[in-house]
Amino acid sequence: MPEIEYLGRRAVSLANGLLEVIVTIEGGHIAAIRDLATGVNPLWTPPWPTIEPSAWDPARHPEYGDNPESRLLAGILGHNLCLDLWGAPSAEEAAAGMHVHGEAGVIPHEVRSSDGTLEQAAVLPASQLRFERRIRLRPGARRLEIEETVENLSPWDRPVAWTQHVTLGPPFLEKGKTEFRANATRSKVIEHDFTGGKGHMQTGAEFDWPLVPCLDGSLEDMQVFTSRAVSAAFTTHLMDPRAETAWFAAWHPELNLTLGYAWKQADFPWLGIWEENCSRTAPPWNGVTLARGMEFGVSPFPESRRAMIDRGSLFGVKGYRWVPARTRVTVQYEAWLEPGPSAG
């Protein structure tokens, strides 16, 4: 299928009469999983206009800020792949031109679709990894079958971060209304205050999903998106190690649509939940951004490579994936968008 334009971006789409999937060429983001009957796309479209990451220049585009996150934020949409870093680069990596969440979300991908399948591929030049993704949308189905392969092109064994940064946004994400379910177990609030004093959860608190300890001594149910005027948070959740399949589902009762993802727990044992509720006032956030990331991957927290390796594990479960030299690692997962509440 030829390229399309989506929100001013080069993209490729795949549709079957029920759902449409849109993937951007630059960054390789799954920008939309759209219900064709209602037009609703549960995935996050930022409140700022996005541009191709290759076009970003700090002098010409101050509206995206000027830091290691800016190139990614200039082009981010929906479901972003974090590889082989999930979090911020070190000061030295940033000085060398590396980006938040790694290279995958800011470089061009080869993307094409035909016969119900969308394929994309990219080589991460600094990381020396090759990434491939295949999305299958069967006729009459509301489920996407997704396969990803990471190949280590270098002669060195590599510890990597590998996270599916699935972010939900309005109109599907709505304060006090959107509900979440997941087979999560042991959980922890991020260990430092990244919110500028706008957080409401107890920093570093360990708890059992879904009741998180708050600063005021209360417990908050994470199964309903916050009703607070302003807030920010990040928690990590160990997916049930007794279950072969890990999953989360989000449902909007008035739209009567559920978006869900399911994957092998052994592939991605962690689910990170990021909450941005109008807390960030710097460009491009500007105090108006509403988003919830449901970020499943091999690591518990977004952090530097050194911090990831030094942490090693949490709750006895390792926090990165070894990819041996000259080898390929393949994972499968699926996503669905369908009427009514559903899970698993």
256: Cβ contacts below 8 Å, ≥ 6 apart: 339, 340
Which of 295, 185, 187 minimizes the C-alpha distance to 241?
Answer: 185
Alpha-helical runs (H) found in 18-107: 70-75, 91-95
Distance, CA of 258 to CA of 337 (rounded, Å): 5
In a domain, 344, yes or no: no
307: Cβ contacts below 8 Å, ≥ 6 apart: 87, 301
Distance, CA of 342 to CA of 336 (rounded, Å): 10
Q: What is the CATH number of the domain that holds 225?
A: 2.70.98.10
Is the full-model pTM beyond 0.85?
Answer: yes
Which of 98, 44, 30, 51 minimizes the C-alpha distance to 250?
Answer: 44
Beta bridge mates, 5: 10
Distance, CA of 109 to CA of 103 (rounded, Å): 11
- Residue 310 φ then ψ, to 5°: -65, -40
pLDDT at 195: 87
Number of domains in the chain: 1
Strand-strand pairing, 19-24 and 184-189: unpaired
Distance, CA of 74 to CA of 57 (rounded, Å): 10
In a domain, 205, yes or no: yes
Domain residues for the domain of 11 are: 4-339
Which residue, chain included where needed, has tokens 């995206």?
64
In a domain, 210, yes or no: yes
In a domain, 282, yes or no: yes
Which residue, chain included where needed, has tokens 């206009």?
49
In a domain, 229, yes or no: yes
pLDDT at 1: 63
Alpha-helical runs (H) found in the chain: 70-75, 91-95, 305-311
Q: What is the mean pLDDT of each run of 10 residues along the chain (344 residues)?
A: 92 97 98 98 98 96 95 98 97 95 98 96 97 97 98 97 98 98 98 91 98 97 97 98 98 98 98 98 96 98 97 98 97 97 75
In a domain, 294, yes or no: yes
Distance, CA of 33 to CA of 145 (rounded, Å): 13
